[in-house]
Amino acid sequence: MTEVPSYLADYAEEYERDPREAALQWFRDAKYGLFLHFGLYSLVGRHEWLQFREKIYVEDYAKLMDDFTAEGFNAEAIADFALDCEMRYINITTRHHDSFCLFDTEQTDFNAVNAPCGRDLIGELAAACADRGLGLCLYYSHGRDWRHPHAPNNDRWGGNARPDYDPPEPSYAYGDDHDLQIYVEFMRAQIDELLTSYGPLAAIWLDGIAVPLNGPAEEFDCQSLYDFIHSRQPQVLVSYKQGLLGTEDFFAPEHKAVETGGKPGEICTTMTPGSWGYMREKAGRHKSEEQVWEELRSANSHDHNLLLNTGPLEDGSLDPEDIPPLRAVGERIRNEGWPQ
């Protein structure tokens, strides 16, 4: 008998028949997940698009890695918190648009293991989730990358693919030297690492959809990537925001529901207005208990899950402003059931 992933323990019979159908049923039933945006941008607290907005050159931005300790990142505490909030899965940024990785990767040295942190944060969270029967979904920035020399550029994929540097960023490949397929293979290799290093995963959650939508999307060969993911772990669900090809397992739009054609849907939104990463100037303005309750009610009314984001602080600890309202909502769910 095939070992059933811990998060699918209640779906063992379905899993034996069809792993992905079991995962889809689990996902619909799960309803509620915790989203975490954590990376180098958290050290500064000025938005996760810091590098793009402030046009920080690659070499200068990389200096933030010298201060990345993540000493407050406690995977077990995060997983316990999610359970206390009545969440059934966690999604974390393995690599955001700045290309800094929270996992141990052989594809780049720009990662947490090589920083003063010296730890594989994804590995720690994977173990904590497996121990508690939580699904682990892994965010991966696919369409947008501000570091890799061969990532999509503004010439072919629109003006928000890269920061608009003047003078040009010296590490990027330009003109005939630029080869997107080098980058496509880099991403495939990293996603393979995620699928082979951290046990059974619930989802690979791709981001950066505006870039392929603005250019020749077929050059990203996404269907081949989806098929590859399913071949590695058949229960893994694939999403690409509101849907790039329409063949994704579920759709994950920002802030509001979309028509899913019968597929599962998941609304992602954030506790911090206007930001997914930690943003110091928004302190005191985060969502309240009642606002979170209303987000859950709205998602449920559209037959969507809610993936609710909090941006950990500089040290990786959960933002204390978000802890009380999210715990209170968890208590309400236990006492009142899901908001209708």
Query: Per-residue DSSP letters for 283-320?
Result: TT-SPPHHHHHHHHHHHHHTTEEEEEEE---TTSPPPT
Across 132-144, average pLDDT: 98
Q: How far apart are CA 141 and CA 333, in angstroms?
A: 32
State residue 232 phi and psi, 5-degree precision. Answer: -75, -45
Across 8-16, average pLDDT: 98
* 193 within 8 A of 228, measured Cβ to Cβ: no
Residue 50 scores a pLDDT above 70: yes
Q: How far apart are CA 277 and CA 41, in angstroms?
A: 7
Terminal Cα-to-Cα distance of the chain (whole angstroms): 39
Cβ contacts of 2 within 8 Å, gap of 6 or more: 15, 16
Residue 156 scores a pLDDT above 90: yes
Domains of the chain: 6-336 (3.20.20.80)
Q: How far apart are CA 163 and CA 55, in angstroms?
A: 6
Q: What letter does residue 159 receive in the DSSP assignment?
A: T
Q: What is the pLDDT of residues 229-242, one digit of tens each?
A: 999 999 999 999 99
Closest CA to 35 of 114, 116, 125, 101: 125
What is the number of alpha carbons within 13 Å of residue 186 lying toward its C-beta? Answer: 21
Q: How far apart are CA 191 and CA 194, in angstroms?
A: 5
Q: How confident is the model at residue 332 (pLDDT cuts 50, 70, 90)?
A: very high
Residue 120 scores a pLDDT above 90: yes
Q: What letter does residue 2 receive in the DSSP assignment?
A: P
* 148 within 8 A of 186, measured Cβ to Cβ: yes
The pTM for the full model equals 0.98
Q: What is the pLDDT of residues 190-199, one digit of tens each?
A: 999 999 999 9
Q: What is the pLDDT of residue 340?
A: 87
How is residue 61 written in tokens?
């931005």
Q: What is the pLDDT of residue 2?
A: 73
What is the pLDDT of the chain when averaged over all its residues?
97
The side-by-side arrangement of strands in the sheet containing 237-240 is 237-240, 203-207, 135-141, 89-95, 32-36, 304-310, 265-270
Across 102-130, average pLDDT: 98
What stretches of the chain adopt beta strand conformation (E)? 32-36, 89-95, 135-141, 203-207, 237-240, 265-270, 304-310
String of b and e for 30-68 (b: at least 16 CB within 10 Å)? bbbbbbbbbbbbbbbbbbbbbbbeeebebeebbebbeeb
Q: What is the largest CA-CA distance in the chain?
A: 62
Q: How far apart are CA 57 and CA 127, in angstroms?
A: 35
Question: Over pLDDT 90: what percentage of the chain?
Answer: 98
Q: Cβ atoms within 10 A of the Cβ of 14, count? A: 18
Looking at 137-141, 214-218, 303-307, which range is the least confident one? Answer: 214-218
